[in-house]
Chains A and B, each alone.
Chain A
Amino acid sequence: MSERGYKMSIALKFEGYHRPANVDQAVKILTKYGNNAQVIAGGTDILPRRPGGNNAGNGKHLVDIVHMGLDYIREEKNGIYIAAAATINSIGAFPLFSQTPYLALSEALACHSTRTIRNRATIGGNLCNASPCADLALPLLVLGARLIVAGPEGNRQIPIQDFYVGTNLCALDSNEMLLEICIPFCEEKTGTSFLKLGRQQTVIDMALVNVATFLTMEGQCCVTVRIALGSVGPVPFRAKKAESMLTGKRPDKKTIQLAAEAAAEASAPLDDIRATAAYRKKMAVILVRQALENSVRRYQA
């Protein structure tokens, strides 16, 4: 473990920089410094922050977790395990994720930032930053991911829908860190989709609205339907009412439209300089509808 006072050319300043060799050491440091410590993985959320911006005062002791072997992706009996510090690009290269049931995930990975940032940015950072527009939250919400968290008392699991507590606030305690994410296997034909709307003429952008959908069918009717929306509320969320409007129903044009409207109804977007709330809400309808259509098409293909 190295500890040195670091002064970076970027506006961020911090007191200690720690490189624990394993999870135990990391948790010990987190426990020691409590609210004065912060995990850093790729740093692509932490470093661009300016003093006065959110979380800036937090980083008095940075705990770097990228050298602890937390970058694996492996299939086990009950699902796929992705380590928290796996980079976006490495996950994108995992062959299973290019199969139909996981397309929502690979689509989200492909829309995340730029190739160079994706070489550093991690899945754990994307989730723990708890931004309402984090792209990876949405496929993980519809895929029913579980988060495995390490703390002083050992590991615990949190279903992803319980992970988000508020904007930039997740369910981790100050002495905990995210260890890995488990995505349960999907049945082969599952149709999923991820869509994102940014600002016009802008290839790479944080979302104005992003959505993911998941759908399985039996005969002509939907069995399991999951719809998640991002950037249109304090946290990414599942639109349960909209889901239930499709469950057991034929996913025809009208039903999909009504479900999409119900999903947007559950949102509570803000007005900001990038778009008005009204526009975001309108777009939520369109994106959910298109994502559901994609899911049905993919299921039936």
Chain B
Amino acid sequence: MDKLEVVGKPIKRIDGIDKVTGAAKYATDITLDNMLYAKLLRSPHAHAKVTHIDTAAAENLPGVKAVATILEVPKVLQYWYFLRTGKKEKQIYLRDNIVRFVGDPVLAVAAKDEETVSKALSLITVTYEKLPDLQDPVVALEEESIKIHSKGNVAMKAEKEFGDIQEGFNRADVIIENTYHTSKQKHASLEPIGSCVAHYQPDKRLTVFSSTQLPHWSRHYLAGALEMPLNKVRVIKPYTGGAFGGRCGLIHGLEVMCSWLSRKALRPVRLSFSREEDFIATESRHPMIIKMKTGATKEGIITANDVKIIADVGGYGTHYIGVIADCLSTGGALYKIPNYRFYGTAVYTNKSLCGALRGYGNPQMNFAQESQVDIIAEKLGVDPLKIRLKNYRPKGDMDPVLREKIQSNGLPECLEKGAAEADWDAKRCQLPGITVIKRGIGLSIMLHGTGAAGALPDPASATIMINADGSVNLLTAAADEGQGNRTVLAQVASEVLGIDIEKITVSDTDTAVTPLDCGTHGSRQAYSGGLAVKAAATEARNKMLFFAAKSLGVKQQKLGIKKGRIYELSDPENNILIHELMRQNQIGDMSLCEQVIGSFSGIASAMPGYYGAIFAEVEVNTETGEVRVTKLTSAFDVGRALNPDLVEGQITGGGAMGIGFALTEGLIVKDGHILNGNLTDYRLLRACDVPEIVPIIVESNEPTGPFGAKGIGEGAMVNVASAIANAICHASGVRLTDLCMTPENILQKLEEKTA
């Protein structure tokens, strides 16, 4: 293809005007005629059996239209890993009388207004038989008398080894072993998680407005839970205020409950969680205990890595299989460590459930592994940058987990450009300073997969319809959570079709209209969605060329398209405007009356890794223990930046989220209660807290990607915490192994060091 016109340009977001003018409607803004309001009653206990529910008084209250309880409404578990087989599909649904964490939904009431709902909830009595609860995953792992789920407390155990771990350690000159703990981070997206409007109509059709990342899979689970055929369930995803994985599937207690109420009342129902409900009762990042033993030769070649992970799943399992698998696939493939052993255990506890959160296990794993690599570098006196260059797995190697050949890897360029911008060589040699404020710099690298082709059912589809005036409707279910992928898909279509982006309208996400897409996860939409749009647009382009060839009297292969005009390559004067051709096709030629439509549905050919290097600069106050990140330099290989502004947005936002993960965030749970479940106490970084973040885009041109693109969304936060931990160590000489890293921790380590 000749020079790109639209792809690679910082095109303005197509949803920008709607958002800044407030015209954009989010799920909780949607109001339907006759709509009822619903609210959940949540468990005050961490673990209990519901022995009796008395709803009579509530149901007699005027204005109350429906009550639904967990005794009838199934909970939806273990997202999408069990989509594949009919037999396992049954295991997705759990209907029982046990509540498994404080805030676990017990029932819901729908009534004519919110006051009536509150009144009704106060009239309901639930009798609980308290059960002993388990908060500590290590205890839960051993405990046999208390079972959180009927099969026990161990959700899964995974084991994988390649090479020979013992041999790897035999060859090592230095072996280190450490245990890392990571926190229960929350998405804290601008729009609280948990908003939907469900409308079940008498003709047995259900329409659900939900800000889900996975509209089609949500429809799949919903249809299963309500035992309805897929075509009767319609999921519409309105504008969404951020997701970060928190909407990766159905929300616990939301869509199914709301639909159930609507089916009972035969009226639309809106159920919206408050910010506090989002904090205490929707998914969070899996806290992990990671024990890692790493060996290397004195030249700094890593020979073995032995990993043992215990992941705290919380009361219900949703994404743990994928999260554990991602720890292995990212950790095992980043470096060419020949001998690798991995044990992953996912354990239930009586805490709020854990699921997908930007990075999907990788930030935890990366924190441990990148700390280990730095410790080894320090022990051997090797530059941390050089040890990475020595060990990273380059283009051309096989990915040992995915068993795919690595077709692009821009890590060396990320390291080189990042080091130059951060002035790594000079700063790394600088002494930390003689005042109580010590300065340091640290780095870390990461690999994250783009999409999940091969690992999961991971379809993407698109349909392009060209109108009589040369404008285009692009139908896609590639849910845009705010990152801007609808804009990027419009760019891809515009590029292929040779039609101005202003003339392209991207559909809303609506399962009744937009073809199958597994949804937005795994940094996949620019890649998988982009490939689908590119294929659909190519089909439409070829059809246009076919018609143009006839009209211009030249062979199809001799034609080009530019700015809405199809022309003969060797004689541009011989041309036709697309809109003239399309009008002729659709309206003018009554024997034809054909719209040019291009479609694609299928799966990407690969799951390419994208890479990044982050350089963190910090100040450590050795008196107060405070850490201040003063600058992040984040260089990421995204294959090709289809829209550099949006890529930089992801890198910067990921940096901010990563600093939070490193220094300030994490839910604090005491005796099963979350103590900081609000935005005052849960310390997110605000704009004024975010240091300078310099995004650097590296383009390695992934051959399987649309115009060479891979992903960026998740990776941008993955290795921030490890870079900061490494910088803290450089500044102060202390190594922190627990997230988030608190001043008290640092002081304690400093004291231990001087003692």
Contacts and interface: CB of A to CB of B under 8 A. Distances in A.
Interface string A267-280: 00000011110010
Given A273-B675, A286-B623, A200 B747 contact: no
Interface stretch (B5-13, B78-86, B362-370, B682-690): B682-690
Nearest to A287: B624
A144 B663 CA distance: 38
Contacts of A202: 664, 683, 685-686, 689
A201 B689 contact: yes
Interface in A87-145: 114
Contacts of B659: 201
B744 A201 contact: no
A199 interface: yes
A115 to B, nearest CB: 10
A56 to B, nearest CB: 15
A286 B680 CA distance: 26
A204 B688 contact: yes
A283 B747 CA distance: 11
Contacts of B681: 273-274
Interface in A167-226: 197, 199-204
Contacts of A273: 668, 675-676, 681
The residue among B663, B664, B683, B688 with the most chain A CB atoms within 10 A of its own CB is: B683
Contacts of B664: 199-202
Contact of B663 (A48, A201, A282, A286): A201
Contact of A200 (B675, B686, B743): B743
A286 B437 CA distance: 14
A286 B744 CA distance: 14
B106 interface: no
A203 B688 contact: yes
A71 B660 CA distance: 39
Contacts of B676: 273
A204 B628 CA distance: 14
Nearest to A114: B688
Given A197-B624, A200-B628, A273-B668, A282 B688 contact: no
A227 to B, nearest CB: 18
Contacts of A197: 624, 626
B290 to A, nearest CB: 24
B627 interface: yes
B744 A200 contact: no
Contacts of B624: 197, 283, 286
Given A273-B675, A282-B747, A286-B624, A203 B668 contact: no
B628 A201 contact: yes
Contact of B743 (A48, A203, A204, A279): A279
A199 B688 CA distance: 14
B626 A200 contact: yes
Nearest to A278: B744
Contacts of A275: 744
A283 B668 CA distance: 22
A273 B682 CA distance: 10
Nearest to B683: A199
B661 to A, nearest CB: 12
A283 B624 CA distance: 6
Contacts of B623: 286
A201 B631 CA distance: 12
A270 B633 CA distance: 38
A297 B308 CA distance: 55
B667 to A, nearest CB: 10
Contacts of A276: 744
A283 B629 CA distance: 21
A200 B675 CA distance: 19
Interface in B136-195: none
Interface string B645-676: 00000000000000100011000100000011
A274 B744 CA distance: 11
Interface string B478-515: 00000000000000000000000000000000000000
Contacts of B742: 200
A176 B628 CA distance: 44
A281 to B, nearest CB: 12
A273 B664 CA distance: 12
Nearest to A272: B675
Interface in B604-656: 623-624, 626-629
A59 to B, nearest CB: 19
A199 B683 CA distance: 9
Interface string B92-125: 0000000000000000000000000000000000
Contacts of A282: 747
Contacts of A203: 686, 688-689
Nearest to A198: B626
Interface string A283-298: 1001000000000000
The residue among A200, A276, A279 with the most chain B CB atoms within 10 A of its own CB is: A200
Interface string B21-46: 00000000000000000000000000
A201 B686 CA distance: 10
A201 B693 CA distance: 14
A274 B626 CA distance: 13
Contacts of B685: 201-202
A279 B668 contact: no
A275 B668 CA distance: 12
B30 to A, nearest CB: 19
A76 B741 CA distance: 51
A273 B629 CA distance: 22
A104 B10 CA distance: 48
Contacts of A279: 743-744, 747
A282 B664 CA distance: 20
Contact of B686 (A204, A274, A286): A204
B20 to A, nearest CB: 19
A200 B688 contact: no
A123 B697 CA distance: 48
Contacts of A199: 664, 683
A200 B663 contact: yes
Interface in A246-273: 273
Nearest to B659: A201
Interface in A5-63: 48
Contacts of A274: 681
Interface string B240-251: 000000000000
Contacts of B744: 275-276, 279
A217 B683 CA distance: 42
Contacts of A114: 688
Nearest to A200: B626
Contacts of B686: 202-204
B278 to A, nearest CB: 15
A195 to B, nearest CB: 11
The residue among B624, B629, B659 with the most chain A CB atoms within 10 A of its own CB is: B624
Nearest to A197: B624
A245 to B, nearest CB: 21
A288 B663 CA distance: 25
A152 B382 CA distance: 77
Nearest to A283: B624
A48 B678 CA distance: 12
A201 B627 contact: yes
Q: Which 4 A-B pairs have the closest CB atoms?
A: A200-B626, A203-B688, A201-B663, A279-B744
19 contacts: A48-B680, A197-B626, A199-B664, A199-B683, A200-B628, A200-B664, A200-B742, A200-B743, A201-B627, A201-B663, A201-B664, A202-B664, A202-B689, A273-B668, A273-B675, A273-B676, A273-B681, A279-B744, A286-B624
Interface of A: 48, 114, 197, 199-204, 273-276, 279, 282-283, 286
Interface of B: 623-624, 626-629, 659, 663-664, 668, 675-676, 680-681, 683, 685-686, 688-689, 742-744, 747
Given A202-B686, A279-B747, A286-B624, 16 more contacts: A199-B664, A200-B664, A201-B627, A201-B629, A201-B663, A201-B685, A202-B683, A203-B686, A203-B688, A203-B689, A204-B686, A273-B681, A274-B681, A275-B744, A279-B743, A283-B624
